[in-house]
Amino acid sequence: MIPIGIKLALNRYCQDNSGYCLKDKVVIVTGAGAGIGASTAYAFAKEGAKVVVADIIEDNVKKVTKRCEEELCAKSLGVHCDVSVDEQCKSLISDTVSKFGTIDVLVNNAGILTFGTLLNADIMEPYDKTLGINLRACVYLTMLATPYLVQTKGNVVNISSILGCTYSGNSKYMPYCISKAGLDHFMFGAALELSPCGVRVNNVCPGPVKTEIFSKAGVTGSWKEIGESFKLTDMSEPEEIADLIVYLASYKARSITGVRYYIDRGHLLMG
Ligand code: NAD
């Protein structure tokens, strides 16, 4: 039992029972129409945050926004946005600020998986496309959000990957791996630059997660088979990744910045 005096003192800093302090915080999640992003938007809404659901697929934006509003009575905003288009990124930020007044958390989650090799001379197109979405858009959106994050002492969570620091023995992942390695380095630089302003920046680096990213990239097979190709008996669920993202964005993680968080069921340990 916490004595009432101490409880009141704690409440001066944190206004909710969970200790996450995300109630009424304005959270943008890119790629929130499906997979990890959809679970993340829902998890923030569950904590009472005002969620901005941004995705390139408009129907999915509507579905996720509706779910947050109907199941959780959340305040939400759906934005149809291709993060690789600068004008649409600008609109995402301005629509958010028009509707909710500020930005507390930016989750750079939108991403694609592509393959390309040097010997087949087919790397440049997937390289340009993947870097545009998985890396450049994160840098650009973070830059646009920075003035608001400085005001709110907010934070950024980028969704990187274990493939930012390993290849899983398959060089065809090169464009994707380069984008995630770049995202990790962007995080270190941004955390260093923004920490004197009270803004935190961290990366979540999942191993294989059960989402449509694989089928969209042309990877076929059951979850068991895909997991086994990564030497795993099972793969993570998107909700597990969302829980870590919410934790890192919350008051509970107020001392954490400039860190990569691996969440991979031991994949990296296995080499
Ligand atoms: P997903 O395909 O289920 O979801 C990605 C979402 O991003 C989709 O809703 C898609 O429409 C959206 N999106 C794609 N391009 C976009 C663009 N240009 N603008 C706006 N939205 C766009 O995949 P996921 O697995 O949920 O991926 C989410 C993030 O997690 C990605 O950054 C991915 O690299 C990362 N990740 C995934 C895994 C995995 O195994 N699933 C592992 C490590 C990291």
The residue among 44, 58, 51, 35 whose CA lies nearest residue 16 is 44
**Which residues are near ligand 1 (CB < 6 Å)?**
30-31, 33-37, 55-57, 60, 81-84, 109-112, 133, 159, 161, 206, 208-209, 211-213, 216
Model pLDDT for residues 166-225, shown as the tens digit of each residue:
987 789 999 999 999 999 999 999 999 999 999 999 999 999 999 999 999 999 999 999
- CA 70 to the chain's CA centroid: 23
Q: Rounded to 5 degrees, what are φ and ψ at 233?
A: -80, -20
For residue 15, what pLDDT band results from cuts at 50, 70 and 90? low
Question: How does the average pLDDT of the chain come out, rounded?
Answer: 94
For residue 226, what pLDDT band results from cuts at 50, 70 and 90? very high
Angle at CA 217, nearest 5°, toward 143 and 109? 25
| Residue to substitute in 36, 79, 93, 212 for testing ligand 1 pocket (most ligand atoms within 8 angstroms of CB) | 36
Kindly report the protein residue whose alpha carbon is nearest to atom 19 of ligand 1.
Answer: 82
Q: Which of 54-58, 70-74, 190-194, 229-233 shows the lowest per-residue confidence on average (mean pLDDT)?
A: 229-233
Mean pLDDT of 5-23: 65
**The pair of three-digit structure tokens given for residue 14, joined into one six-digit string:** 């944190």
Q: Is the dihedral of CA 42, 76, 31, 14 positive or negative?
A: negative
pLDDT of the residue at 94: 98
Which DSSP string corresponds to 174-220?
A: HHHHHHHHHHHHHHHHHHHHHGGGT-EEEEEEE--BSSTHHHHTT--
Mean pLDDT of 238-262: 98
Distance 193 CA to ligand 1 centre (A): 27
pLDDT of the residue at 170: 85
Angle at CA 29, nearest 5°, toward 162 and 18? 90
Atom of ligand 1 nearest to the CA of 216: 2
Distance 100 CA to ligand 1 centre (A): 25
pLDDT of the residue at 157: 99
Length of the chain: 271
What number does CATH give the domain 22-74+87-270?
A: 3.40.50.720
Model pLDDT for residues 97-122, shown as the tens digit of each residue:
999 999 999 999 999 999 999 999 99
**b or e along 71-88 (b: 16 or more beta carbons within 10 Å of the residue's beta carbon)?**
ebebbbbbbbbbbbeeeb
Say if strands 155-159 and 26-30 run parallel, antiparallel, or are unpaired.
Answer: unpaired
For residue 13, what pLDDT band results from cuts at 50, 70 and 90? low
pLDDT of the residue at 167: 84
Check if the beta carbon of residue 182 is closer than 8 Å to that of residue 133: no
Query: What is the CB neighbour count within 10 angstroms for residue 159?
Result: 27
Q: Measure the CA–CA gap between 252 and 69, rounded to whole angstroms.
A: 26
Distance 109 CA to ligand 1 centre (A): 6
One-letter-per-residue 3-state SS of 73-133: CCCEEEEECCCCCHHHHHHHHHHHHHHHCCCCEEEECCCCCCCCCCCCCCCHHHHHHHHHH
**b or e along 217-227 (b: 16 or more beta carbons within 10 Å of the residue's beta carbon)?**
eeeeeeeeebb
Check if the beta carbon of residue 201 is closer than 8 Å to that of residue 156: yes
Which class for 101: exposed (0-12), middle (13-18), buried (19 or more C-beta within 10 A)?
exposed
176 tagged catalytic: yes
Mean pLDDT of 79-100: 98
pTM as predicted: 0.95
Q: Which of 42, 148, 173, 176 is catalytic?
A: 176
Distance 217 CA to ligand 1 centre (A): 11
**The pair of three-digit structure tokens given for residue 133, joined into one six-digit string:** 């979405």
Atom of ligand 1 nearest to the CA of 160: 44
Does residue 271 carry a pLDDT above 80? no
Kindly report the protein residue whose alpha carbon is nearest to atom 32 of ligand 1.
Answer: 111
pLDDT of the residue at 9: 45
Mean pLDDT of 124-148: 98
pLDDT of the residue at 3: 55
